[in-house]
Amino acid sequence: MKERGFNVQPTFTEEVLQQSGPLRHALFEIQRRYEDLAAAMDRNPSGVAKGRFSLGDRVAGLSLALAPDAFVFIRATAEMMTPGKQALDGQLLNVILGQRPRSVFSHICLVDSVTGEVLFLSLTVAKGDFLSDAEKVVGEPIVRALQKIPF
């Protein structure tokens, strides 16, 4: 994102959250609401471009204290199939060769800090050996996805 000219700063550091109980509680509430919204966006990602998703104006309470233009939510999961799962999935050749399919699913979302409107959503799937070459396998698809930010 910095390559696109965005000023990215870690707003909610551990020190800041330890000093402010109300801020920590408000952040927890926004993240909980985001998790619910993320499930809906995963089912219908095209709705983001149509402005169908919002966290509501409760995010404004967080932004008043910190003055960001947008919040970035990042979620990622990785999976590596076990030999037993590969055999059940019909990938017996991979089991024999000792190869283990690996995937990383990333979910990056920009939310307006005043209105709560979801501005951008990127869902990427990277396949490959992310344990030994994370920059290529995971980093490059994310960079390509972030280049699609419309502003």
**Which pLDDT score is estimated for 68?**
76
Residue 65, domain member (yes or no): yes
Q: Based on the structure, what is the number of domains in the chain? A: 1
pLDDT beneath 50: ranges in the chain: none
Q: What is the pLDDT of residue 57?
A: 80
pLDDT digits (tens, 9 = 90+) for 33-61: 999 999 999 999 999 989 999 988 877 76
Phi, psi of 69 (to 5 degrees): -80, -35
Does 5 reside within a domain?
Answer: no
Alpha helices by DSSP H, listed for 4-139, are 14-19, 21-43, 59-66, 83-88, 92-97, 134
**pTM of this structure:** 0.75
Q: Where are the beta strands (DSSP E) in 81-131?
A: 102-112, 118-127
- Domain annotation covers residue 79: yes
The pLDDT of residue 145: 84
What residues make up the domain containing 100?
10-146
Q: Quick check: is 63 in a domain?
A: yes
State residue 102's pLDDT score.
Answer: 72
The verdict on residue 17 lying in a domain is yes
Report if residue 64 sits inside a domain: yes
- Residue 91 domain-assigned? yes
